[in-house]
Every structure is written in C-alpha cells, then in structure tokens.
Amino acid sequence: MSSTLATDRSAEASESGSTAPLLEITGLGVSYGRRAVVRGSARRTRVLADVGLTVRAGEIVGIIGETGSGKTTLARATVGLVRPDAGSIQFDGRDLTALGRSELRDFRRSGRVQYMFQDPLRSQDPDLTVRQIVAEPFAAIGALSRQERAVRAEEALSLVGLDAAEIGSRTPGQISGGQRQRVSLARAIVTRPQLLLSDEPVSALDASNRNLVLGLLDRLRRELGLAVVVISHDLGSLAGIADRVAVLYRGRLVEQGPISEVLEYPRHPYTALLTASAPSVRSGHRLLPAELRAPVGRDPWPDDVGCVFAPRCRFADDACRTEPRPAAVGGPSVPQDHESGAPEASAGDEASAAGHTVVCHHAGSWRARLG
Amino acid sequence: MSRPAEATVEPLRAESAPSTGAHTHVPASAAPVLTVEGLDVTIGRTVRAVRDVSFSLARGEAVGLVGESGSGKSLTCRSVLGVLPPGCRVADGRITLSPSTDTAADGATDADVATLPASESAELTALPRKQWNAIRGRRIGAVFQDPASYLNPSLTVGGQLAEQLRVGRGLSRSEAYARAVELFAAVGLHRPAELYHQYPHELSGGMLQRVLIAIAVSCEPELLIADEATTALDVVIQAEILELLQSLRKEQGLALLLVTHDLAVVAESCDRVVVMYAGEIVEDGPTTEVLAAPAHPYTEALLRVASIGDWGRRELDIIPGRPPETGADLPGCRFADRCAYVTKECTAGPVALRTLDGGRRARCLRPAGPSGETRSAAAADPGLPVPQGAAL
C-alpha cells in the first residue's frame, strides 16, 4: 500500500546527509465516514490521499493549504488521533499504523510526539492554573511526583520565556492571547518530545506575538533538537523559520521542497496563487492573483479524475482533465520532466531541484503561458 | 470576475505610489462622507478605551484603521455604526455622516431616492434609536469577521438579501428577487439564481462573506465598514474579497473603512491609513508615505513585524513589552515604555497629535522625517531583542 513520491526520499537523503528521518510518512490516506443525511449519501470522504512527508530532528517543516485541504488531518494522523486507511507513518523506526490500540495509547502517553492545538482558549481548562495546565501531560498519566512536575513545568515555562512566578498561578482567562499560546507551547514541550506538531499556532495572534511564537519554535529546535511541523497560512512568517514546506490541496500534496525555493519560484500553479495572494506591505515584482485564477464560466470539471487542482487552474487543459494525476497511488508513473517539475531551462540545475517535488502536468511550462 | 478584478488591482497599486496620486479618483473637492471628531468611548464609567479620535473619509476613499487587539479600533468603528457593546458609550465627540454631494446627480438610485430617508447630514452620536434604521444598512453598510453568525441559518441567503432590498429600498417581491440575483452576480458569486435558494450552511466562508457584502451594499450605502472582514479567510479568498471591495469602491463611489490588525492588508488596499495604539491615533496619512517612512515609532515597529512578501529566512522581529491596560491613565506618551527612542520629555506630559507635511499626523514629540533623519541621532534600535534565527 505504501507508495510515495520516489524523489522525496532520495532527495532528502542527499540534502541532509545520513541522518535517518525521525518521521517518515509514505502514501498516507485518510478518509472519514459520512452518515447518510440525504438518501444514499453514506460513503467515505477521502481527505488525504498518497501523502508523503519526511521530518528530521531539528528541522521545521511547514504545511500550507486552504481550509479543508487536510492539514489538520495530516497532523492528527501523525499523533495517532486519526486512523489512516492507507500508507505508513514511521516514527523513529517504528510503524505507528501497525500499532494496536493499547500500544498506540502507550505511544501517545510516552510524550515523544506532542500536539499543539489550534485554539488555546478551547484546549486549556479554564479552571486550571497555568502551572497545572503545563504539568497536565504528566498528571494525565500519573507520572512523576508533584514536586517533579512543578519543576518540569517551571522549566518548560522558562523555555518559552514566561515567568512561572508571575503567571504560574493565573488561569487562561487572566493572561493575554500571546501568553496563552506560549502556555500551550510549554505544555507541549514539558515531556521533552522529539517531534512537535503545531496546528495554526499563530493564526489568532497579532504580528508581534506571531513572530514571538514562531521565533520560540525556531529557538527550541536549535536548543533541543526538536523536530517541528507547523501548520500555518501565514506564508511570510513561516518562511522566516521553516526549512521545508509541503503544500496541500484537497488532500493531495501538490508541491514540496525547501521553503524559500518553493515560495520564491513556485512550480505548481496553486502554490503560485497562494504566494501571489499573500498580502504584504511592499508591493513587489510578483505575479498577480488574477493572472492565476481560472477563467469564470469554464465548463465544470469532472471530479476525482486527473489533476486535483485542475478545476481552479488557469493552465489546465485536456491532459489535466483526463490523465490520472501524476504520482497517484497505483497510477502509471509520470514522465520524468513532469515529476521533477524542473523547468526545461534549469533542468540541469541539480541544487535547485534537490528535494523539490511538484505534482503538475505542466509544471515546467505553465509560466510560459502567463500573459 | 477575474478580469475586472485584475483591472481594479493594478491601477490601485500604480496610483498609490506618487504622493498626490492616492486620491486621484476622489474628486478634489470631495466633502468627507464621514467625519469623526474628538471621539471618546468609555467602558463602564471611567475606563477611557478610545481617546480623542478624529479622522474623516471622503467619497470613494479607502481608509485602513490598524492596531493590535485592544487598541480601540473596533470600538471606534462600532461607534460609527451605533452598535457599541453593552456598558460602552460615546462619552464625547461627534460623528457626522454627510450626504454624498453627487449621489443625486449620479442618478444611480433614481426613483429609489425618494423612498429613502432624505440624504442629509446626520450627527450619529446623538441619534435616537429609531432614526438609526434610516442610517444603518442603508447609508452605512457593514461586514464583520464571522459571516456565518450574521446570517439566519434557517432562511435562504437570497431570501435574506431580498428582505433587505424590500425593507431598505421598498422593492416589490419580484423586483427584489431580480435585484438580488444581479447583486449576487456583481459580488462574484457563480450561478446566482441557484445560489439564491441555498442556505448559509451550504456555502463556504468566502461565499458567505460575498453574500454579506451583497447585503451590505444592497441599499447603495455611502460608507462600507469592513471590521476584520477577511481575517478568518484563506489568503487566496482574502485577496479575492479585497479585490471585490476595491471594485465596489470604484463602481459605486463607496467610501471604505477597513478595520484590521494586518498592516499588509492595508498596504494592499487603502489610500490612507490610521494607526491606533492604546485607544489613541498615533499616526495617520497616505498609506504609501506612511509605510515608506513611518513617523511614529509604533508604526515603525508594526512595519517591522508585518509580512514583507519576502520568502527568505529572516529574523522575526517582535515589539517588546505590551500595551498599557485599556484606559490606563498615563501622564505622557502611551507607547513610551515600548519605544526605542524614549526620552524624559515623552513621559512628562500628554503628547498631542501633530500635523506634519503631506497630510500626515503623528503623536510623537520627535517624529521621524521622510527619511528618518530626526530620530537617527538616537541609538540604533536599542530596545530590540537580540535576533534569534541567525544560525543555520
């Protein structure tokens, strides 16, 4: 069942030397059951298909994509909160998808992988103090003595730049939004995890606090060697800290690679649309979003055949409509120039092609069709 | 939709570049549509959350109101709409909605003008509750952050727009249907006739926001207030909504008050920017000039932490410290304890909003000049944290 973008692994290996990846997801598929609201509509909705992702210790990987693209599901599957129905999730050499119920529970309780939830107000018990919240991962499994927990909680709080003496005995309602998010981060790192999955850690924060929290993630990965997966839609600040980025669209990975390269020179039209749409205080040289949107009034595209982005893609043609999407599970292999996505001009440029994969029929040619 | 949208974006960027160009599409003599003078809003009896806020909007002008949460920007725009939260009241100041002089000449509203309440100057702070109905939804439209919560889940979206048209403009049932379908098409919704019969839960967040914009502009208001209207949306949809607001502004001569915490959004879409901090305006002026050379240290700090559209690895700056408690009474500048250039005089007494060259104002004793010369004597950013991301 486990198929992946073959280039992923080889390219990653060459990029980061011989270190074995901490997390290696291959061919991941997740679908949710749906109840029959309307007659006969009970079926499973595929939310992730054939997703591959590799994360090494000390690396920050960003995941971007729109609402409903499967970002959160990918993160939840990684911590074992959602059962995948295809593919494998190797964490430190162990296949999480093969674990039984109680083994998975033990794994989650080991605190080696932590999840930082999107909304701190809703993921923090309003009646607990900050100290108790941070020590919760231990309290939940009955580990450590009361004093040891307090020491570890203070340690974690100081790692995120909070003074336990000052805010340790306050409740979430009595601290600011930026502090709450840092408390969430402290709770996530108190077990000294190897991997942190952070779901939209900054979407509710203003620019200064956003930079503060992302800066902390950056510091933690350097000081603790923590591997971090950050889900964010703020491309600019993500670019400031992340090493690599994976772009999801409707449950499929459409592009993946070193973040500055992917954002600077997107090879997938969807990534290009994302970067063009991101607001910035300087008007630059970049493409205009309107240049990348599909013309209005085009015939509806058939769903589930061909490229997943084709219905919204300005550059889609019959090939995108009918040919199975490149690198689909069990699908025919894609011609090399398509999969590598390198434009003809820079096909020989190995440095820029390293680890940069794109799933597009016209990855190398769509730019030429811009007006 | 994509073509006209493109057309509206390009000229905007081009024309906001030169200093005088920002207002080119606004008639030079344009009387302000909205004037806010000396606005004070208090929470409870004593907490002054908004202090002495004055600004104005001309017809067809887009003004961005920027600030962190708690800066008073939302209270300011809610005062204009007359929908302050319980316990808050306008303690002082005037909010004047002027008739847009050329509405009648436009003929845009032709017969409907008669059925509308007379477009006359209205002082909103003292307006009796009943008269608000003639203003809110008709002369001032508004869209907010969470579109789903402003629509009735048990009525079709088309029905809700038609209701507004029938109540607000006195259209008949069939006229309202026809106009609603037109409006849905005008805000870029596909298959408007089918969409008319859909319920809010069947639509995505971006589509709902378009529906709300259609409702907000259905009575052809003079002013549209967008309070964090794009904050909850994806970047792709956000860009589409901002383009839509721009094209409405162009086509209908709508004045737009865009309230946001994101300086980048203002940079993309506003002629002028008003920066608020701890309840006060600290700087305002034409967007391009303010962003090119901020006069107030807070604007400078905001700019430093904003998205710069550069995808390289870089230091993520922060603004050290935190804003004062809402309504705190401080003797001097309210930004002083976070300011890198603070001196003794800053905390000695109140700092007035001074008028600078080029239609700009700043509440700073030593505002930076166009090239930052005034403050350059101060040590270079002593208050900044040590950059963190230098390694790797």
Residue B326: inside a domain, yes or no?
no
Residue A356: inside a domain, yes or no?
yes
- Total structural domains within chain B: 1
* Chain B residues whose beta carbon lies within 8 Å of the beta carbon of residue A218: 316, 388-389
Residue A364: inside a domain, yes or no?
yes
- Quick check: A296 and B1 CB within 8 A? yes
A210 in reach of chain B (CB within 8 A): yes
- Total structural domains within chain A: 1
Residue B156: inside a domain, yes or no?
yes
The shortest CB-CB distance from A260 to any of B242, B311, B392 is to B311
Closest chain B residue by Cα to residue A273: B236
Confidence of residue B11 (pLDDT cuts 50, 70, 90): very low
- Quick check: A206 and B69 CB within 8 A? yes
- Quick check: B239 and A284 CB within 8 A? no
- Quick check: A237 and B316 CB within 8 A? yes
pLDDT of residue A344: 38
- Quick check: B265 and A279 CB within 8 A? yes
pLDDT of residue B380: 41
pLDDT tens digits, one per residue of A232-251:
877 877 888 999 999 999 89
* Chain B residues whose beta carbon lies within 8 Å of the beta carbon of residue A211: 305, 316-318
CB contacts under 8 A, A 44-73 vs B, are: 66-67
Burial A313-334 (b: 16+ CB within 10 A, else e): bbbbeeebbebebbbbbeeeeb
Closest chain B residue by Cα to residue A216: B388
**Paired tokens of B64:** 């961005």
* Rounded mean pLDDT, A249-255: 90
CATH of the domain at B138: 3.40.50.300
pLDDT of residue A302: 66
Residue A275: inside a domain, yes or no?
yes
Residue A345: inside a domain, yes or no?
yes
Residue A344: inside a domain, yes or no?
yes
Q: Rounded to an integer, what distance in angstroms lies between the CA atom of residue B170 and that of residue B163?
A: 10
B317 in reach of chain A (CB within 8 A): yes
Residue B259: inside a domain, yes or no?
yes
B130 in reach of chain A (CB within 8 A): no
* Chain B residues whose beta carbon lies within 8 Å of the beta carbon of residue A273: 236
**Paired tokens of A341:** 């996505």
**Paired tokens of A190:** 């108190």
Closest chain B residue by Cα to residue A276: B236
State how far residue A298 is from chain B, nearest Cα, in angstroms. 11
Please count the other Cβ atoms lying within 10 Å of the Cβ belonging to residue A132: 19
pLDDT of residue A140: 87
* Chain A residues whose beta carbon lies within 8 Å of the beta carbon of residue B242: 279
- Quick check: B267 and A279 CB within 8 A? yes
**Paired tokens of A345:** 């001009």
SS (H, E, C) chain A: CCCCCHHHHHHHHHHCCCCCCCEEEEEEEEEEECCCCCCCCCCEEEEEEEEEEEECCCCEEEEECCCCCCHHHHHHHHCCCCCCCEEEEEECCEEHHHCCHHHHHHHHHCCCEEEECCCHHHHCCCCCCHHHHHHHHHHHHCCCCHHHHHHHHHHHHHHCCCCHHHHCCCCHHHCCHHHHHHHHHHHHHCCCCCEEEEECCCCCCCHHHHHHHHHHHHHHHHHHCCEEEEECCCHHHHHHHCCEEEEEECCEEEEEEEHHHHHHCCCCHHHHHHHHHCCCCCCCCCCCHHHHECCCCCCCCCCCCCCCCHHHECCCCHHHHHCCCCCCCCCCCCCHHHHHCCCHHHCCCHHHHCCCEECCCCCCCHHHHCC
Residue B93: inside a domain, yes or no?
yes
For residues A302 and B219, the model is more confident at: B219
- pLDDT beyond 60 at A10: no
A245 in reach of chain B (CB within 8 A): no
Residue A276: inside a domain, yes or no?
yes
- pLDDT beyond 70 at B13: no
Chosen for mutation from A38, A260, A267, A281 (greatest number of chain B CBs closer than 10 Å) is A281
Domain residues for the domain of A362 are: 265-369
Domain residues for the domain of B144 are: 2-280
Chosen for mutation from A181, A283, A313, A370 (greatest number of chain B CBs closer than 10 Å) is A283
Residue A301: inside a domain, yes or no?
yes
* Rounded mean pLDDT, A326-346: 37
pLDDT of residue A35: 65
Closest chain A residue by Cα to residue B241: A277
Residue B364: inside a domain, yes or no?
no
Residue B303: inside a domain, yes or no?
no
Q: Rounded to an integer, what distance in angstroms lies between the CA atom of residue B258 and that of residue B65?
A: 6
**Paired tokens of A51:** 């997703």
Residue A303: inside a domain, yes or no?
yes
B267 in reach of chain A (CB within 8 A): yes
pLDDT tens digits, one per residue of B135-194:
998 999 999 988 889 999 999 999 999 999 999 889 999 999 999 999 999 998 988 999
Contact A196, A112 (CB under 8 A): no
Residue B327: inside a domain, yes or no?
no
A177 in reach of chain B (CB within 8 A): yes
Closest chain B residue by Cα to residue A271: B236
pLDDT tens digits, one per residue of A166-219:
999 999 999 988 899 999 999 999 999 999 999 988 887 888 888 899 999 999
pLDDT of residue B372: 58
CB contacts under 8 A, B 231-260 vs A, are: 234-240, 242-243
Candidates B353, B354, B368, B277; CA nearest to B322 is B277
B313 in reach of chain A (CB within 8 A): yes
Contact A172, A183 (CB under 8 A): yes
Residue B314: inside a domain, yes or no?
no
